[in-house]
């Protein structure tokens, strides 16, 4: 179905709400074609979006931001899924190595919120912005889901983050939906899922889920949920 270019974000979100996730991906591909990219962290449930998207757009550029501080098993999981799904993987990192950063700034994740935010900007936000620029992306798909945290509970299927349109095809999926999909297509969870990790990022800022914790508390010691990649600062009404 062709959507008129004048459709507002409110109307468009209502339209996407009625579609199945794979149809949302098809809509995005029809609208943005080669200007569409997908990001992945190779987190706990990343296989869902990677598989679903490559069924529609096999050669989609898949952006992987490597901070240099990911778990060893995350790197191994990334290699496994990249080979299994034949991903067109594009890896981006900070130009400054992790060792150099520590020598100059110390372990910023142990310091203030401000230091942590600077770490995230340097190792996550800047590489992602560079990836979007170099790949000339107009639209960026991600596997965010509303049930993942309170900060994502009111997200819409399509938003604008600066100059890039962001699309979340499985935004309304539950953990049960994810489980059913992974089992249907014989796809793996991240291997650390079985060790009690429900959300994965850098090893120094990720912890297991224990009694009394919410999933969002397992990142950055509960100080914040978002690393900067998915923080909408200027999410105003726009025309698609």
Average of per-residue pLDDT across 35-59: 97
The pLDDT, as a whole number, for residue 5 is: 38
Tell me how far apart the alpha carbons of residues 196 and 212 are, in angstroms, rounded to a whole number: 14
Whether residue 77 is predicted with pLDDT greater than 60 in this model: the reply is: yes
* Residue of 191, 139, 162, 200 whose CA lies nearest to 16: 139
Structural domain includes residue 90: yes
Q: In this structure, what token pair is assigned to residue 100?
A: 């150099």
3-state helix, strand, coil in the chain (%, to 5): 45, 15, 40
**Dist. CA 77–CA 188, nearest whole Å:** 9
- pLDDT tens readout for residues 121-150: 999 999 999 999 999 999 999 999 988 767
Residue 104 lies in a domain: yes
Residue 148 is predicted with a pLDDT of: 77
Name which residue leads in pLDDT, 198 or 50: 50
**228 lies in some domain:** no
pLDDT at 239 over 50: no
Strand, helix or coil for residue 194: helix
Active site annotation includes 147: no
* Residue of 2, 221, 9, 226 whose CA lies nearest to 124: 226
- State which residues form the domain around 172: 9-222
In a domain, 83, yes or no: yes
Give a yes or no: residue 240 inside a domain: no
| In the predicted structure, residue 14 carries a pLDDT above the cut 60 | yes
Write the CATH number for 212: 3.40.50.620
* Cα separation, 50 vs 142, whole angstroms: 10
In a domain, 203, yes or no: yes
Residue 19 buriedness (CB in 10 A; 0-12 / 13-18 / 19+): middle
**Count of domains for the chain:** 1
* pLDDT, tens only, 178-217: 999 999 999 999 999 999 888 889 999 888 888 777 777 7
Residue at 235 is within a domain: no
Please report which confidence band the pLDDT of residue 235 belongs to, taking 50, 70 and 90 as the band edges. very low
| pTM, entire model | 0.86
Residue 114 lies in a domain: yes
Of the candidates 206, 227, 228, 230, the residue annotated as catalytic is: 227
């Amino acid at each position: 179905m062709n959507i008129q270019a004048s459709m507002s974000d409110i109307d468009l979100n209502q339209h996407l709400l009625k579609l199945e996730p794979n149809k949302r991906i098809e809509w995005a591909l029809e609208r943005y074609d080669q200007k569409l990219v997908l990001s992945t962290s190779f987190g706990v449930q990343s296989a869902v979006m990677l598989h679903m998207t490559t069924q529609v757009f096999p050669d989609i550029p898949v952006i992987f931001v490597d901070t240099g501080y990911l778990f060893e098993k995350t790197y191994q999981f990334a290699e496994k899924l990249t080979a299994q799904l034949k991903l067109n993987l594009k890896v981006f990192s900070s130009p400054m190595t992790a060792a150099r950063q520590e020598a100059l700034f110390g372990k910023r994740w142990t310091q203030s919120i401000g230091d942590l935010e600077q770490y995230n900007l340097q190792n996550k936000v800047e590489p992602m912005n560079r990836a979007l620029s170099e790949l000339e992306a107009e639209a960026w798909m991600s596997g965010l889901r509303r049930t993942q945290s309170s900060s994502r509970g009111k997200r819409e299927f399509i938003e604008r983050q600066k100059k890039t349109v962001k699309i979340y095809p499985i935004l309304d999926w539950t953990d049960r939906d994810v489980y059913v999909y992974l089992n249907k297509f014989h796809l793996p969870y991240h291997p650390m899922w079985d060790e009690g990790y429900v959300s994965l990022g850098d090893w120094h800022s990720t912890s297991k889920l224990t009694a009394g914790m919410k999933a969002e508390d397992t990142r950055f010691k509960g100080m914040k949920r978002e690393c900067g990649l998915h923080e909408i600062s200027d999410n105003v009404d726009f025309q698609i």
